[in-house]
Structure 1
Amino acid sequence: MPTEVSSINIPRATYRLQFNKFFTFADGEKLIPYLHKLGISHCYASPYLKARSGSLHGYDIVDHSQLNPEIGSLEDFESMVACLHHHDMKQILDIVPNHMGIGGDDNHWWLDVLEHGPASKYAAYFDIDWRPFKEELRGKVLLPRLGKHYGEALEDGDIKLFLSSETGQFTICFYDQYLPVDPSTYPYILEYKSDSLSGGNSIETDPYFLEYQSLITAFKNLPDRNTLLNDPERREERLRDSIIFKRRLGEICQKCPAIKEFIFSIVSIFNGEQTKNFDLLHHLLENQAYRLTYWRVAAYEINYRRFFDVNDLAGINMEIPEVFMATHSFILELIKTGKIDGLRIDHPDGLYDPPQYYQRLTQYIAEAKEQPSQVQVIDNSAKPNFYIVIEKILASYEHLPQSWSICGTTGYDFANICNGIFIYSPTQKELEQIYARFIKYQFDFDRLLYKCKKVIIKTRISSDLTVLVNMLDNIAQSSRYSRDFTLNGLREALIEILAYFPVYRTYINVDRVSEEDKRFIQWAIAQAKKVNPGEDTSIFDFIQGILLLEVPTGVDIYQEIIPFVMRFQQYTGPVMAKAFEDTALYTYNYLTSLNDVGCDPRNYGTTVAAFHRENQERAQKWPYAMIASSTHDSKRSEDVRTRINVLSEIPAKWRKFLNLWRRINILKIRKSKDHRVPSYNDEYLFYQTILGTWPLYEMDEKELASYRDRIEIYMIKAVREAKIYSSWISPDHEYESGLIEFIHSTLSNIEKNRFLDNFLPFQKEVASYGLLNSASQVFLKLTAPGVPDIYQGNELWEFRLVDPDSRAPVNFSLREQMLEDLIDTANKAQSLSTYTYDLLKNREDGRLKLFLIWKVLNFRAKCSQLFENGEYVPLSTQGEKADHLCAFLRKNENQVAIIVASRWFSILGSDDNGLPLGESCWQNTQVEIPEAVECKIFRNILTDQQIEVIPELGKYYINSSQVFTHFPLALLIPSTMD
């Protein structure tokens, strides 16, 4: 039994809401009664602290101390919270500790850094390398914001100097962005041709002119931004005086029009408006605390840590207590006042030391809630005092450390294992052959991933590698045993290790080297050695020693080793994410339902035994972890994946139709350079994509055009992410236009379309089985150990693709009305089994999925301890169709529930109506009931049917043919239990 944590309010079920200017706190409040009826206990909110203007996701936070005004006011927020509490509901908030949005002029901290460089009070807040290898960048921040080379942008007039005469602030403007000018460089502008101000008149005796001259001197005397790192008093002097001097300049401009006009004329000269000479502006820019560059430079020279390779998201140093408090004070206040009851931590692997962060977070939460103890430690496992889940992607051979003071992950691991249940594993080789023959190429996924990592390292995030190499070189040069390792040798060795690194990251620190982390590092280095047998392998042994904190003689572990190891661990995550999720999974398309966050296409299918083991482990170690099937990051929604999974059951039909479609569409293929457009691989992806997303309703031409637009947007994104024929950095517009032309001609109309005439009957068959798959999947999610999460809109069938498709507006009015009608009809039905049979027959309308969620979640509300802390016991199945069942028991004291779900429907068989029901389908298949369950009659809460337990040779069974007479799923409880 798992250890209960009484101080945590454990969610019964969460519902993810995507807040932005199109879905506000007021909109969220309107939904609360609906979610309450559905059985949701906690709204699970996307980030809603102040983000970049127009942000649709909220992960680009610019101010942690206030709510996003585009989502609503504090009063709107409190009204939503009050409504939640009125319905006995709470909320979980997604927070972003790793990075901030810096792409505009709305992040005060970042603008202060750009103005004052290392002298800024916020300079240490951001993870900036102020001493990079390139001398021209020392004391500066590289800003890769220009759409063309710097010199070209300058001489095209894209970069301009601007003065606000009201505030006395000079800024650099380009496109629609503004950058501050270092106040210590103001004299370079203000002094230029200042002798012409007098013009032979008496202005030199004018008090404003004298003040102007005095102000120039004051600006000159500001302490230099690069000499104040260890002089806090002089730093404060610079920051304080800069504000005063700028204000005085604004006042002079307002009171003396002659000086104002003079400065404007000088600004015009700097901008080359008459002379087309930009030397003055260039010199001014060269003396700023930033270096404006072409955006392509970022991959190689950027000197601030980013979120992956996104230039507009800068990493922050959360390990510094001052930064932690500055970013968490508002959140802690919301927790203290009971407005937030759980946190989801976004991208924690990007943090310097994630375990330390979790510990600090729980400690401060304990203080905010005035709890006597922050964390209980039981059996070497941390039991947190607050509901916290982390966005963590685990490899199948990786385990979440129980010492972390969290409640588990956000559920990618469950999504992976549960999706695999509906893949028919015996067909793996056959499907691989179909794929290889179609694309005329044999993929080795391990080799593909290795190559993808190298591409990412060398082209997208090479600058971070350069920092690591320089740090490693400094360590090597500190010891006579490693001084002969060259910079290039260290670089190549690191690349090889990173290319073979088997997990997103390790969590080593000075007091922590786990056996699992040690094993991952040793494995990566062993693989790197294998592929470099001709090299001096001692360089790999040297790096392994450093990564495992085996300190060479003469090297300071705190000053040199630990900073390198921590930086290395922050780097492996982006390498894996960009290479695996955003490259390899858009390239290897043999069964795309495997290509999602947290999944691995090398793991084809999940055995029922493996599913049970995972659930048992979660019940024991992480009973309060989230379990998900669709998220805002999913590449394909749960209902798309369950459709595509059907192909694993019918490979022969899949092969037949693939070859037919290729022949039909052969004349729509065109050549681009040396390429077929689309490539065989992209064509293969296209067919799976439309199989998975084709709507359930019949489309008219307007609806078809809208659908076609969605597919075109997705396919362009897919080929750019794959980085073979096009990319985000270097789009091949010829290839992309050919791809769009293919999609358009293939989906051009409904009438007189030979392809659609052949595609739609097969698609309808796949879709029908896919809906049954999806019903079983959501049923398993609602009953397995953990906290089931529903992504907005997915209580009905949703056939969505990756962002932006997955974040499209949801028709909540339709869902509210459907739930009202469903509850009313179900409660009035004379026979619930007849009603559910009708839902099954008419499953295309979505009521089936909505009914399951409503029925099971409301049952969970009545028996919360059964699911929150109940045991998980796998049940044995026997008979001809035993492999088509997944059955388990949940037990807590005197409460018992038996869950039986069906799968692999296309090869299961059916009754006379084509449904997976009754004796003709299930024949002699049985589920064994443990003798300890002393009950002779069960009731299926989904149908109200009574199910008798059958004794046989000293054992007890229920017959599937009896359980599944009206519905292919069952949640059985003792008839005496209510």
Structure 2
Amino acid sequence: MTNLRIPSSTYRLQFNSEFSLHEARDLVPYLHDLGVTDLYASPLLQARQGSGYGYDVVDPTRLNRELGGEEAFAGLTEALRQRDMGLLLDIVPNHMAASAENRWWADVLRHGPDSPYAGYFDIDWQPGRPGLAGKVLLPIIASPYGEALENGELVLALAEDGFRVHYRGNPVPVRPDSYRDILGLGPAGTGGQPDPDPVPQQLEELLAALDKLPPRHDTGYPAAFREITGRLWQLYQTNSATRLLIDKSLQAINGIKGEPGSFTRLDKLLAGQHYLLAFWRPANREINYRRFFSISELVSVHAEDQHVFEATHDLVLRLCKAGLVTGLRIDHIDGLYDPEAYLGRLQERLTETGEHPGFYVVAEKILGHKKRGHTSDLGSELGGRGMSPTNEALPVSWPVYGTSGYDFLNLVNGLFVHGAGLTELGSIYRRHGAPEDSFQKMVYQLKKRAIARLFNSETRTLAEQLGRLAEQDRHGRDLALDQLEEAVVEVIACFPVYRTYLRDLTLTDRDREYIEKAVALVHRRNPGAERACEFLRRVLLLEFTPDQTQDQQQDWLHFVMRWQQFTGPVMAKGVEDSAMYVYNRLVSLNEVGGKPDAPPVSVAAFHRRNRAGLQRLPHSMNATSTHDTKRSEDVRARINVLSEIPTLWAGRLEQWRQWNNRHKSVWNSRPVPGGNMEQLIYQTLVGAWPLRENEVPGFKKRLADYLVKAAREAGRYTNWQQPDEDYEKALVQFAMSILDPGGDNPFRQDFIRFQATTAYYGALGSLAQVLLKITSPGVPDFYRGTELWDFSLVDPDNRRPVDFSARAAMLAQLREREAGGRAALTALARELLESWREGRVKLFLTYRALHYRRNHPGLFTGGEYIPVEAAGPGAGHICAFARRTGESWALVVVPRLLALFRTGNGGRGGTGKPAGAPPPLDPPLGEQVWGGHLLLLPDEAPGMWRNILTGENLTAEPAGPEADAPPGSKVLPLAAVWQSFPVALLAGA
């Protein structure tokens, strides 16, 4: 292949019935004008009807007709080609929809293990439960099976593709050898009917043909079966005698509500199928197919099987080879049996060599953390050693260009959190309702809860597999199954990362370290599990005994590789979807891939990570908001400001709690909300409160929905399995009451006054993050609509429609204004900053920086990364670096922790106000704020610079004694760099 392309920037679009490929095609000119080089699409393969996100694929061999299908896709790719733009496609190799719309899945339900697609899906056909052998447990019923049956909710009907059983619009097919029983026509033609109606000859011929169908694996079977069911459907519609016979049979089988005995035939019919319909709530203890996390509607596939790989990837590979798709994002890489083998096969099919660098592929991978060091004082946090928030790295053997960007998201977000302030927020949190447990202990408990509630069946299956291994080992033979299951639970609950990647009999140091640490932690927390854990440890580390055969060694390896597919979902449900809704010290840190109890990121740590990224994975994605983030980048930036003003926050929090106690309802003898949830509410308001009064009513509805989701995810007083509507109603009622604009509610106006500070300084922090994302090593990614202020919460809130026409009109106006020359550009930058609430300032920054990046690809894709130091009393509030390739230079300068800087702790920029006073809400520009602060330029840096954002020209000066720099050094005064705009992108002249 020759069409290998590395994007300069990506823009993520979410496709669904409300935003199709047609709309995306019309959007291409705007994205090109914005400076984007590659469109980044959510899954485009055929998904379930009405899918809101595309991850529930039902047919990977077709483009989604609901999005416009092949014709619309061709229109989009042609529009991209005309502007030399690429298309990065999100694909889902791990799972498909467990839906009758999925013809492969439907065939498995109809024919069971005999289906040629039975091996496509990760199904245990011989589970431990009696009566489930050869069947798939389907947890689709909202009540116990017997109740649903006798209430007439299970209805047998005929459709074009044969007989189906319907449950609330969810059809499941019936096996062909049940057809004679349905019609009451046994082998002898009577089927036990006391007075059978004459059987139409054509119907008897069809049933005879059904009896003579070839075996299911025969290539002629599908066409023969389709012909029979098609003719049966046509006969039913056109032949009155056939319709009468079938209708009478169905009526007799479907029973009469209130007459339990009338459902015996339907019950017997269902018992003979290749599936077992079950009540969804307890089904987590019995389900016998691997799911995407705990979502029973998504069934995992055997992507490691080459035949399955070819079937599920054929269309995607053809689109890539045709140059229509130029990059891939691999969803849920940790769900695969052997991620490295999958990625290698993918690259081999895409590049015909498998060599790397090859086709542009990034993996959705959440990297783990190691806690080392803590920065507790202003000096060390701002200028000294700090921790990089991401210490786990992608396996070096993976043929990918990097991750989808959560590691950068948490890195850059942590740069705008103040360490000492975060420590003080911890004290405030403990005074006002924090859980007693540390975050790490909370994670341990919630992972165990997730296993018990959501993954009981998977845990038992692993324990049974481990038991079979133990039976063959002299040191494991006398371990009881419950001991082994306890060991499985404990080690997974203590596991520090999402998974290991052992794939053969060679263990890496990385994987050994994580396994040893987990087992050691179990020994401390649960000494009673030590013997079973020690055996499990030996298996996970493949510490074979001398007498083990090769087959036994392979059995151990297979267990480990299955185990590895399970640890990630437990981590996700225990941490991302539970602990991060319970631990509310500073919720802007509660993000996918984040570590809420970790110290912030220092400037030095930020530079270290960027330099390492440039060396190892220079084209990894840099994200700040995604479809999966808990909060948008702008919401997080606002909440981060609380770490800079903890004294002010503590005072308001105390006052608000006093004022709002009267709005709390009593539920189970508890006031709702408790202190922990109340802090989540206030921080959410700080982060997501709209800038316009007319948006408040809609925001209140969004807030209500969010709080219910947050409470269910936390799982303390309500949950998804058993929602407590009384608690949820009390929670929402509290939030709506405190936001009532009535005169006897002092909270709302006081909150709005306080939130003005977090909104303003959060906006400044957001601008800094945008520029860092665009100019740091990596590929900057923009989530739909975030080029303006976006105050979205977790999905589905972050999937609301985006007004692209308004954005396009704003951009056109900005481009017209900037065409007036340097003076016009400077005036425009100042004007946009003054009117920051409109959001045009963020659009302007994004547009100017992306265009500069697109026009200088070598500078940012492979250019050197050179940290630049600052001098002055507030030097720790400055993050600066240069990018260089040859004679081309760019200099990036952003401020950080500005609210702290301007309350008196940053030298001349401070106001001298007492602790707890709010910082000023005027632009932090020029000599009055930044006088006495200098950038110490690298020795070879140019002396002349042009500000890409404002058009201003700057000249470096010789370093004076105040700069504490070597003789002959050059400096740039910060007052000049930030004369008109609070962040700077300078081009060397």
Aligned partners of 2:88 and 2:327 also within 8 Å: yes
Q: Which residue of 2 aligns with 1:73?
A: 69
1:390 aligns with 2:386: no
Q: How does 1:467-478 map to 2 (within 5 A)?
A: 467-478=461-472
Aligned partners of 1:192 and 1:266 also within 8 Å: no
Q: Which residue of 1 aligns with 2:792?
A: 800
- Aligned mates of 2:730, 2:7 — CA distance in 1: 49
Q: How does 1:702-721 map to 2 (within 5 A)?
A: 703-721=695-713
Moved more, 524-533 or 610-619: 524-533
After TM superposition, give the deviation of residue 242 of structure 1 in Å: 4.8
Distance 1:298 1:918, change over 3 A: same
Q: Aligned letter for 1:46?
A: S
Q: Which residue of 2 aligns with 1:320?
A: 305
Q: Aligned letter for 1:95?
A: I
Q: Which residue of 1 aligns with 2:846?
A: 853
1:91 counterpart SS class? strand
1:789 counterpart SS class? strand
- Aligned mates of 1:891, 1:968 — CA distance in 2: 23
Aligned partners of 2:122 and 2:290 also within 8 Å: yes
Aligned partners of 1:145 and 1:295 also within 8 Å: yes
1:895 aligns with 2:888: yes
Correspondent of 1:870 among 857, 863, 869 = 863
Which whole-Å deviations, capped at 9, do the CAs of 1:670-702 have from their partners, x for residues lacking one? 110132111211111111111111111233xxx
* TM-score calculated relative to the size of structure 2: 0.92
Correspondent of 2:420 among 421, 426, 438 = 426
Aligned partners of 1:197 and 1:262 also within 8 Å: no
2:758 counterpart SS class? helix
- Aligned mates of 2:210, 2:698 — CA distance in 1: 61
Q: Which residue of 2 aligns with 1:258?
A: 241
Which whole-Å deviations, capped at 9, do the CAs of 1:107-134 have from their partners, x for residues lacking one? 1000000000000010000000001011
Correspondent of 1:603 among 598, 601, 607 = 598
After TM superposition, give the deviation of residue 525 of structure 1 in Å: 0.8
1:107 aligns with 2:102: yes
Aligned partners of 1:425 and 1:648 also within 8 Å: yes
Q: Which residue of 2 aligns with 1:681?
A: 676
Q: Which residue of 2 aligns with 1:920?
A: 928
Distance 1:472 1:290, change over 3 A: same
After TM superposition, give the deviation of residue 755 of structure 1 in Å: 1.3
Correspondent of 1:732 among 724, 727, 744 = 724
Q: Which residue of 2 aligns with 1:378?
A: none
After TM superposition, give the deviation of residue 7 of structure 1 in Å: 6.8
After TM superposition, give the deviation of residue 251 of structure 1 in Å: 6.7
Q: How does 1:821-860 map to 2 (within 5 A)?
A: 821-828=813-820, 830-860=823-853
1:731 counterpart SS class? coil
- Aligned mates of 2:622, 2:312 — CA distance in 1: 28
Aligned partners of 1:521 and 1:544 also within 8 Å: yes
Which whole-Å deviations, capped at 9, do the CAs of 1:1-30 have from their partners, x for residues lacking one? xxxx99731111111111111111111111
2:255 counterpart SS class? coil
1:65 counterpart SS class? strand
Aligned partners of 2:331 and 2:363 also within 8 Å: yes
1:88 aligns with 2:84: yes
Distance 1:101 1:203, change over 3 A: closer
Aligned partners of 1:130 and 1:140 also within 8 Å: yes
Correspondent of 1:64 among 41, 54, 60 = 60
Aligned partners of 1:471 and 1:560 also within 8 Å: no
Distance 1:252 1:942, change over 3 A: closer
Which whole-Å deviations, capped at 9, do the CAs of 1:809-850 have from their partners, x for residues lacking one? 001111001001111112215343332122222211112111
Aligned partners of 2:636 and 2:687 also within 8 Å: yes
- Aligned mates of 1:21, 1:209 — CA distance in 2: 41
Which whole-Å deviations, capped at 9, do the CAs of 1:470-489 have from their partners, x for residues lacking one? 11111111223321111000
Aligned partners of 1:782 and 1:788 also within 8 Å: yes
Distance 1:761 1:217, change over 3 A: closer
After TM superposition, give the deviation of residue 90 of structure 1 in Å: 1.4
Q: Aligned letter for 1:487?
A: L
Aligned partners of 2:185 and 2:192 also within 8 Å: no
Aligned partners of 1:117 and 1:289 also within 8 Å: yes
Q: Which residue of 2 aligns with 1:622?
A: 617
Q: How does 1:260-299 map to 2 (within 5 A)?
A: 260-273=243-256, 276=260, 277-299=262-284
Q: Aligned letter for 2:952?
A: Q
- Aligned mates of 2:950, 2:209 — CA distance in 1: 84
* TM-score calculated relative to the size of structure 1: 0.93
- Aligned mates of 1:487, 1:124 — CA distance in 2: 29
After TM superposition, give the deviation of residue 932 of structure 1 in Å: 2.5
1:580 aligns with 2:553: no
Moved more, 34-43 or 921-930: 921-930
Q: How does 1:162-561 map to 2 (within 5 A)?
A: 162-164=157-159, 169-191=162-184, 195=190, 207=201, 211=205, 214=208, 218=212, 242-243=225-226, 246=229, 249-250=232-233, 253=236, 257-273=240-256, 276=260, 277-367=262-352, 373-375=353-355, 383-395=356-368, 396-439=390-433, 441-535=435-529, 537-552=530-545, 553-554=547-548, 556-557=551-552, 559-561=554-556
Superposition CA RMSD, Å: 2.3
Aligned partners of 1:98 and 1:315 also within 8 Å: yes
- Aligned mates of 1:63, 1:771 — CA distance in 2: 43
After TM superposition, give the deviation of residue 513 of structure 1 in Å: 2.1
- Aligned mates of 2:406, 2:319 — CA distance in 1: 28
After TM superposition, give the deviation of residue 247 of structure 1 in Å: 5.3
1:873 counterpart SS class? strand
- Aligned mates of 2:572, 2:82 — CA distance in 1: 41
Aligned partners of 1:187 and 1:216 also within 8 Å: no
Q: Which residue of 2 aligns with 1:589?
A: 584
Q: Which residue of 2 aligns with 1:380?
A: none
Aligned partners of 1:880 and 1:923 also within 8 Å: no
1:24 aligns with 2:20: yes
Aligned partners of 1:891 and 1:897 also within 8 Å: yes
Distance 1:162 1:195, change over 3 A: same
Distance 1:731 1:213, change over 3 A: closer
Distance 1:746 1:210, change over 3 A: closer
Aligned partners of 1:65 and 1:329 also within 8 Å: yes
Aligned partners of 2:435 and 2:676 also within 8 Å: no
Aligned partners of 1:99 and 1:316 also within 8 Å: yes
Aligned partners of 2:181 and 2:191 also within 8 Å: no
Distance 1:30 1:123, change over 3 A: same
After TM superposition, give the deviation of residue 443 of structure 1 in Å: 3.8
2:118 counterpart SS class? coil
Which whole-Å deviations, capped at 9, do the CAs of 1:9-59 have from their partners, x for residues lacking one? 111111111111111111111111111111000000111111000011000
1:423 counterpart SS class? coil
Distance 1:173 1:939, change over 3 A: same
After TM superposition, give the deviation of residue 545 of structure 1 in Å: 1.7
1:691 aligns with 2:705: no
Aligned partners of 2:491 and 2:518 also within 8 Å: yes
Q: Which residue of 2 aligns with 1:670?
A: 665
Q: Which residue of 1 aligns with 2:913?
A: none
After TM superposition, give the deviation of residue 440 of structure 1 in Å: 5.6
After TM superposition, give the deviation of residue 563 of structure 1 in Å: 2.1
- Aligned mates of 2:317, 2:228 — CA distance in 1: 37
After TM superposition, give the deviation of residue 921 of structure 1 in Å: 1.5
Q: Aligned letter for 2:408?
A: F
